[in-house]
Amino acid sequence: MYFSTDVIIEEKKINPTDEQAQACLRVCQMLSNCYRDIQLFRFDDQTGDVFILASDELQIIVPRSGNWSFVDETEL
């Protein structure tokens, strides 16, 4: 028995900088090389930042400059 579900996903245009897009690719490749699952990849259209959650514990922010960093939960 097969079920059919129709899903409509709104596609928003995102405009990362070249530096940011390349940094995201490098970070995702490093995570993959270390066998880390990427749980969430989100572009915040208000701030222009990319947020990456990997393996339920690593949080990475990639600002428009491309200078990525780990999110320190003690500062939140």
| Residues 59-73: tens digit of each pLDDT | 999 999 999 999 986
Is a pLDDT exceeding 80 seen at residue 75? no
Provide the pLDDT for residue 58. 93
pLDDT digits (tens, 9 = 90+) for 14-61: 889 999 999 999 999 999 999 999 999 999 989 999 999 998 889 999
Provide the pLDDT for residue 3. 62
Instruction: Provide the β-strand partners of residue 50.
Output: 43, 62
